[in-house]
Structure 1
Amino acid sequence: MTFVSRRTLLKSAAVLGAYGTGLAVMPRLSQALTATDPIEIEALTGDVPLDGKQATRGVMRYGLAGQPSTDPSPPILRAKRGETFKAQLINRLDEPTTIHWHGIRLPNDQDGVPFVTQPYVYTGDRFDYAFSPPDAGTFWYHPHCNTLTQMGRGLAGVLVVEDDRDPVFDGEVVLNLRDFRLGSDSQFIEQFKPRDAAKTGTFGTLRTANWQPEPRYDVPTGGLVRLRIVATDVTRIYNLRLNGAEAQIIAIDGHPVPERRALDMAVVSPGQRLDLAVRIADSEGAEMVLEDIRPSTPKVVARFRAVGSSLKRNLGDLGPLAVNAGVEADLSNATEIPLLLSATAENSARDSICGSIGYSFWAINKVPYPGDTPDPTAPIADLKLGQTYLLNVENVTPHAHPIHLHGMNFKAISSNKREVQPLVSDTYLVLPDEKVQLALVADNLGDWVFHCHIIEHQKTGMTGYFKVT
């Protein structure tokens, strides 16, 4: 990746101004965040056993300063809707990094994108993030710097935003799904192959949930469990099926679904999240299995074992989730924006928003970022605060693209390939040859990145941003 010099960044920092004065943030697992929790997030490099054979060198991970843990997977961070969330990133990597809070509607200068919203956080430096999450649900956090390597080597964690009005479950399991690319000696191999980057992307060799192959979790017999699933992988699209238990989809990408439905098979692509209400089997010792059935041979993602006497709960007992803000689009006055997702002839390396991996394969509106235009880093479109826009996204490639928008939400309106629910979301999986309309209200000032979340596609051209003024 091409890095800009510290001198240049110091100049840009002077232009960008201050980026918050908060100190620290968030406890693990069941603890709730308050505005005074002094917790710091460290970006670290170390040796971690991933495949059960021997330690993998050079794993990048997040940890909580002053809170040693035997669990090497990234901490599950928890915040309260509407309450001040403060995080201080301490960079202990040998290269610059940042944190992007995926799916959170926040001030632009807290979004964690170098050269767009903030300067690099260099080795040994700190950076303060502070915002109040306006929506409850399942979100996540990851770097937006040397993204393919840093995310590929482990920097991706789950952020849960809680609301006291949500129904009470008998248990909760959070699954951070991702691959690692390891060789037979348990060490990292090349993160991508150019021929694969020009297609679906390069898949990992070791599948994990919470950095473990096929982990097993104990859950209360006959109880209602909230299963929060986050696809933090840089490439893999999951087709998930749960065997041995009843389950309903209750939220997608952090937002409650308009109508709950039984889980048959759910597609979860990089960047997306899926919340399930699972009714655990009544027999103690019964095993439930979450599988990925894509592309053909099912692979076990995680196992669940019923423990204790049956609680004899029923999915009908479960009340509604707290409502998040919707997308109140004025379609009668909407401005249409064409967004063509296309391949491009291989070109020389171009710097994307997060640097270059040496190739240009993908484009938005036939222009890889940055493109051959009078202003190669100009926004895709200039949006006016408060106005409604229809993003007319057309995928003319033979591959799917999970398109993610920073800082704002959209709502699917129509598709030529399938019936769409009016889901509020920040990430939409655009199928091959699909034309989809996404309604967007430009309700957040700033420069907001729009890109494919298959990271090889992002870094080889399928990237841009909207400017809201």
Structure 2
Amino acid sequence: MVHLSRRTLLKGAAALGAYGIGLGAASLYRSAEAATPVTLEAKTADALLDGQHLTKGVMTYGADGAADAMTGPPMPPTLRLRKGEPFAAKLINRLDEPTTIHWHGLRVDNRMDGVPFLTQPYVYTGDSFDYAFTPPDAGTFWYHPHCNTLTQMGRGMTGLLIVENPEDPAFDAEIAVNLRDWRLGSDGQFIEQFKPRDAARNGTFGTVRGANWQVEPAFDAPAGGLVRVRLVATDVTRIYTLKLAGADAVIVALDGQPLPAPVPLDQAVLGPGQRADLVLRMPDGEGQTVSLVDARPSTAKTVATFRATGSSLKRDLRAVAALAANPFTPPDLKNAEAVPLVLSATAENAARESFCGSLGYSFWAINKVPWPGDTSDPTAPLAELKRGRTYLLNLENLTPHLHPIHLHGMNFQVVSSSVRSVPPLISDTYLVLPDEKVQLALVADNPGDWVLHCHIIEHQKAGMTSYVRVV
């Protein structure tokens, strides 16, 4: 769940009593009638990431008919699906190492989840893998490898995925924004992806901050229009505190799930893996701009701007209606079974393989055991859940750091927090505060082995990961 400020929540409590497709990024759409799947090639490229130097060894996805025709940076294409319609993609690996694709936030068949050895084998160099699923939910999602993730994601393999709902209202424009950093030296080339001392804390931050593979990109949108802005935090470390300067907006969805009613935006905190859908009311004057500002941690930074074009459409933000809800089975809290999940540091510092690769350190743990554990069965699931039963994930953060905890394959509903008021929102990722105890309720409705991990990738790779089994 994306965290909202107290002011935003108070506004939301009161509220509750198509033009363009991903401007600034290539989009690729396949309807149910398409005879062939989307082809996604995992490959390397060169790209202008810092605005000054051509960075070599970038990792990305090329897609048939989309990425190769791009006039901008070779960012992974934005994939567009439709709710309830079949989708297929063929991954072809042109990298010099194995890879996979995980469809972040989508409730797919377990065999399609993209986790090496847990749900599928490696896709080795020159090999391919066929993914196929029908998305049950509309919203803003993304895709990335689940293999050698710190390197592959850190070097670029994070693409946006949008599932459209024909019942959604029409907007005057739509802009999809891929928020992420890069670890580059002064010459624009990649430097070491992480520092051990930082991996044991908040994580290692990038040196170049960007959006859609550009530094402070500018997007055009109709003056006086209502613009749907899809924000996706695909960074491996950074937590964003996002505000708008120069215009008003409402939040209509968080982590792919529509809100019961639009909530006026004060600020939204997005951890790695999280998403927020805004409806922005553009200024009326031609050339007037709106800034998307990251206020975290201390010095505000403009990450993107929106420029008004043409004569004003004179839209009214108060006319924005709620999006249609996605299907969700309400949890049976009276008969729920508790699953303890204690997040902590560990002093072991031993190299562990994790699901794919190792950082050479174990700094983090779930239930006091870094993954994989040192029990008689070190790769056993954290819990075995019975299909159709309700479970309460009792997350307790014993560390002084924030952890965006992401669950594959299922959605949960926020029940309570020990440190703040929380709305009963539905999500796949929860940003746990330091010393917070939170209850997340879910119905175990998707059989298989589902990874649960911190989406600060250094934390994941250094022990804060495991999985639950639904039988």
Q: Which residue in 1 is equivalent to 2:137?
A: 135
For the pair 1:36 / 2:37, whether they are aligned, the reply is no
Q: Which residue in 2 is equivalent to 1:93?
A: 95
Rounded Cα–Cα distance in structure 2 between residues aligned with 1:77 and 1:402: 24
Rounded Cα–Cα distance in structure 2 between residues aligned with 1:237 and 1:388: 30
Contact 1:258–1:422 (CA under 8 A) maintained in structure 2: no
Q: Which residue in 1 is equivalent to 2:123?
A: 121
Q: Which residue in 1 is equivalent to 2:319?
A: 317
Rounded Cα–Cα distance in structure 2 between residues aligned with 1:87 and 1:361: 36
TM-score, normalised relative to structure 2: 0.92
Deviation digits for residues 29-86 of structure 1 (CA, Å, limit 9, x no counterpart) = 3745334153201111021111111211100011113542233111010000000010
Deviation digits for residues 8-48 of structure 1 (CA, Å, limit 9, x no counterpart) = xxxxxxxxxxxxxxxxxxx9537453341532011110211
What's the C-alpha RMSD, in Å, of the aligned pairs?
Answer: 1.2
Amino acid at match of 2:392: L
Shift of 1:461: 0.3
Q: Which residue in 2 is equivalent to 1:395?
A: 397
Contact 1:28–1:78 (CA under 8 A) maintained in structure 2: no
Q: Which residue in 2 is equivalent to 1:461?
A: 463
Contact 1:245–1:288 (CA under 8 A) maintained in structure 2: yes
For the pair 1:338 / 2:336, whether they are aligned, the reply is no
Amino acid at match of 1:55: L
Pick from 377, 384, 387: which aligns with 2:386?
384
Deviation digits for residues 236-289 of structure 1 (CA, Å, limit 9, x no counterpart) = 000000011110011000001123211111100100000001111111111100
For the pair 1:370 / 2:369, whether they are aligned, the reply is no
Q: Which residue in 2 is equivalent to 1:360?
A: 362
Q: Which residue in 2 is equivalent to 1:208?
A: 210
Residue aligned with 1:289, SS: strand
Rounded Cα–Cα distance in structure 2 between residues aligned with 1:196 and 1:181: 13
Q: Which residue in 2 is equivalent to 1:175?
A: 177
Rounded Cα–Cα distance in structure 2 between residues aligned with 1:273 and 1:77: 16
Q: Where does structure 2 lack aligned partners over 5 or more consecutive residues?
A: 1-24
Q: Which residue in 2 is equivalent to 1:271?
A: 273
Q: Which residue in 2 is equivalent to 1:189?
A: 191
Describe the shift of the 1:450–1:35 C-alpha distance in structure 2 as closer, same or farther (beyond 3 A).
Answer: farther
Shift of 1:317: 2.1
Identity level (%): 67
Rounded Cα–Cα distance in structure 1 between residues aligned with 2:250 and 2:214: 25
Q: Which residue in 2 is equivalent to 1:70?
A: 71
Rounded Cα–Cα distance in structure 2 between residues aligned with 1:308 and 1:32: 31
Contact 2:394–2:439 (CA under 8 A) maintained in structure 1: yes
Residue aligned with 2:325, SS: coil
Deviation digits for residues 200-249 of structure 1 (CA, Å, limit 9, x no counterpart) = 00000001100000000001000000000000000000000001111001
Deviation digits for residues 404-433 of structure 1 (CA, Å, limit 9, x no counterpart) = 000000010000111111111000000000
Contact 1:110–1:129 (CA under 8 A) maintained in structure 2: yes
Q: Which residue in 1 is equivalent to 2:7?
A: none
Q: Which residue in 2 is equivalent to 1:49?
A: 48
Shift of 1:354: 2.5
Contact 1:289–1:303 (CA under 8 A) maintained in structure 2: yes
Amino acid at match of 1:36: A
Residue aligned with 1:349, SS: coil
Contact 1:353–1:463 (CA under 8 A) maintained in structure 2: no
Q: Identify the structure with bigger relative contact order (alpha carbons < 8 Å, sequence gap 6+).
A: 2
Pick from 241, 245, 248: which aligns with 2:250?
248
How many pairs does the alignment contain? 443
Listed as ranges, the matches of 1:4-23 within 5 Å are: none
Contact 1:405–1:451 (CA under 8 A) maintained in structure 2: yes
Q: Where does structure 1 lack aligned partners over 5 or more consecutive residues?
A: 1-26
